[in-house]
Structure 1
Amino acid sequence: MSTSTPGVSIEELFSLSLSVNSGATAVPVMIGQFVDPDGNLMADRSPMTFSADVTRSLTAGTVVAFSEPNFQGASQLFQPGKYNTGDLTIPNDSIRSLAVPEGWRVTLFEDADFSGEQAVVKAAASSLGAEIDGRTSSLIVENTIG
C-alpha cells in the first residue's frame, strides 16, 4: 500500500543528458527537491516518503526490484521477459519490494525455472506478502498494455 502527500511536487534542479550507443539501456536521471504548494523546501522528506507513483514515473518502462522493503537496498531493472536465477544481479531470494509501472505485471516464483509458490504483482509494492517476500528465484515481467 502506498501513501501520498497531496500538493507536493518535485522542483527539477537539473537533468543529466545521456548519449547511449545502440543496444544499451539507460535510466534517465533527474536531480530535484520536494516543495510544498507554497514553494517551501521540504528538507525533512526523502523521495521514499512519498508515494510509489514517484518511483513509478521515474522508472517508466521498467520494473525495479529492490532487496529491502520500501524501495531500498540493492536494485535491478527489468524489461519485459523471463528471468531465471542466473539472470538476477541482486542476490537470489532477496526481492522484498517492487516498483511496477501502470499496466505491467510481474509474476514472482519461489523456485528457479518458474516453479514453486508464485505471486502476481500489478502495482508498486513497498513490501511483498509473507508467501513470497525475500523468496523469489525467478520472475516473469509483462507489459499488459503494449
Structure 2
Amino acid sequence: MSSQLGFGFEQRIREGAVLTLSDFMDGIPESQVPRVFEHHDFKGRSAELGAGTYTVLTDQQVGDNIISSVRVPAGWKVSLFTDPGLQGRSLVLTGDLARLDGEFDDKVSSIKVERN
C-alpha cells in the first residue's frame, strides 16, 4: 500500500516520528534533512532541522546542551555553537558525526543549518 502523503509520511507517523512543517512544504524525505540526536551513535531523542538558524535550542530541537551526534546528508552544512545566538566555540559539519568530542558533547546551544 502506497502512502497518499508521499515520502512515507504515513509510515513515519505510525512509527511515532515527529514531522515538521518543512517535511510537507519542501517535500524532502527525512533521511535527506539534518538531524540532531541526544546520544552518541545517532540514538535517543532526535529532531530534524531544516535550513535556518536556531539561536536558542528548545525541547522541540532536542534541547539545550544535550546533543551528542548529528546526521548531515549530502548537500547540507550544519554549524554547531556552544553558546546561544551563534556565539562561542563553533564546529562546522558537512557529514555525519556519531560522537561529538568533549568540547561539543552536550554543550551545543545554537545551530545554523544551510544547504550547500
Q: TM-score, normalised by structure 2?
A: 0.73
Q: 1:133 aligns with which of 102, 105, 109?
A: 105
Separation of aligned partners in 2, 1:130 and 1:119: 12
**3-state secondary structure, aligned to 1:123:** coil
Give the alignment of 1:19-34 within 5 angstroms: 19=5, 24-26=21-23
Give the alignment of 1:40-51 within 5 angstroms: none
Separation of aligned partners in 2, 1:117 and 1:111: 8
Change (3 A) 1:67 1:19: same
Unaligned runs of 5+ in 2: 7-19
Q: 2:3 aligns with which of 14, 17, 20?
A: 17
Among the aligned pairs, what percent are the same residue? 27
Q: Relative contact order (C-alpha < 8 Å, sep 6+): which is higher?
A: 2
Deviation at 1:16, TM superposition (A): 5.8
Deviation at 1:133, TM superposition (A): 1.2
> Where does structure 1 differ by over 3 angstroms across 4 or more consecutive aligned residues?
23-27
Separation of aligned partners in 1, 2:57 and 2:108: 12
Unaligned runs of 5+ in 1: 1-14, 28-56
- Who is 2:68 aligned against? 96
Contact 2:23 2:30 in 1 (8 A): no
Change (3 A) 1:86 1:119: closer
**3-state secondary structure, aligned to 2:85:** helix
Residues 49-87 of structure 1: CA distance to partner in whole angstroms, max 9, x if unpaired?
xxxxxxxx9611x10000000000110111111012155
- Who is 1:108 aligned against? 80
Please state if 1:77 is matched with 2:77: no
Query: In the comparison of the two structures, how many residue pairs are matched?
Result: 98
Query: Larger radius of gyration, structure 1 or 2?
Result: 1
Separation of aligned partners in 1, 2:107 and 2:51: 21
- Who is 1:122 aligned against? 94
Change (3 A) 1:58 1:78: closer
